[in-house]
Structure 1
Amino acid sequence: MLKINYMIEAKGVIDELNCHLGKAAAMAKIDLPEVVEEVIEIQKNNFLVSYSLNNKTKITSKNISFLENKEKKYKEIVGKFDGFILQGGSLLGAEIHIARAVNRRLFRQVTYCSATGIHVDGVIFDYLNKLSNYLFILSKYINHRLGVEEIKVYGEQ
């Protein structure tokens, strides 16, 4: 596969991720309007990731701090959980889980870019990794706020 194909694939995955986040934002308008603006902010940040893949780094530690602060806030609300849950819960929580899975695919695609010699700024990896963590805790927060119990595979019950 040509190096440039990895870049094209990564940009396509960013588009797919933003589509799922857009759907989630539309769904959140009804039950969780406080989540809408931050999801839109993440969609905008994902465009910065796309620009950054062209060696014009736009994503910064400030974007990562945004995710860290939101993640910390939601963890305080939902509490700590060590273990695994089945993806799903509410429809909105499930959509966020899909976005997280797409984000993990994006991380792998960006790794392929880097492995084939395309320069990828380390901040992109940090951002995508933190985005995955954030989306996981966001899904837990959404399910918590909507009163939907998650199915725990194992861990603290």
Structure 2
Amino acid sequence: MAKVTTGTGDTGYTGLLGEQRVPKYDPRPETFGTVDEATSALGLARATTNDPRVKEVIYHVQQELYLLMGELATPPENYEAMGLRITSEHVQSLENIEEELKLEVNIPNKFIIPGDSIGGAALDLARTIIRRSERMAVKLLHDGVIQNGEVVRYLNRLSDLIFVLARYVEVKSSLAQRPQEGE
């Protein structure tokens, strides 16, 4: 059985990937902790849908976010050895999925107030957490704590994709609620 409680964080420090320990309020654990929040919010969204395509997209993104968290938790001296890296291919994949979804849903040119469906609202919540993690990652990049700009690009594109996915879910939800012909 996995040991859940280690006690190593009881003094307010947490380990990065390697030997380094930093305060829990350090920008790195703050950022990967926020990405973890986004992953959980995406899990809520995934649990609310019966659409296999939506489930697949969300699950794929959740897996990639674990890679991203690993990269954020890796100090520079261990970066190459760990091999955890978000690449331009990860970003391109998000862009491709977004473009496919936009072919099936009209994105209105206006502000969207979340809440038209439970699934859409859960995705919108995840999107806002992703945006917060993006702002935090930008600070890490600008401060020289991380060097891979693809992390920021990934989070930026991901928030766009999740916005489109929320609209897709809402359109599918509204179609499912319409009375069928002859009813």
Aligned length: 145
Aligned residue in 1 for 2:58? 39
Q: Which amino acid aligns with 2:33?
A: G
| Greater relative contact order (CA < 8 Å, ≥ 6 in sequence) | 1
Q: What is aligned with 2:8?
A: none
Matched, 1:112 2:139: yes
Distance 1:73 1:88 in 2: 24
Aligned 8 A contact 1:110 1:120 in 2: no
Distance in 1 separating the partners of 2:133 and 2:147 = 13
Residue identity matched to 2:163:
F
The TM-score normalised by the length of structure 2 is: 0.73
Aligned position for 1:152: none
Where structure 1 has 5 or more consecutive residues not aligned to the other structure, the ranges are 149-157
Alpha-carbon distance in 2 for matches of 1:95, 1:23: 7
Aligned structure 1 segments of 4 or more residues deviating by more than 4 angstroms:
none
Cα distance in structure 2, aligned partners of 1:74 and 1:83: 18
Aligned to 2:33: 12
Identity over aligned pairs, percent: 31
State which of 77, 82, 89 in structure 1 corresponds to 2:104.
Answer: 77
Structure with bigger gyration radius? 2
Deviates more, 1:126-135 or 1:106-115: 106-115
Q: Which residue number in structure 2 is paired with residue 151 of structure 1? A: none
Note the 1:123-142 alignment, pairs <5 A. 123-142=150-169
Distance in 2 (alpha carbons) for counterparts of 1:103 and 1:80: 20
TM-score by length of structure 1 reads: 0.84
Distance 1:86 1:120 in 2: 35
The Cα offsets for residues 2-58 of structure 1, whole Å up to 9 and x where unpaired, read as 8x7110101111111111111111111x3x122111111100111111122225352
Check if 1:25 corresponds to 2:52.
Answer: no
- 1:153 alignment counterpart: none
CA-CA distance at 1:79 after TM superposition: 2.1
Equivalent position to 1:86, from 107, 113, 120: 113
Task: Flag the structure with higher helix content.
Answer: 1
1:56-67 equivalences in 2 (<5 Å): 56=79, 57-67=84-94
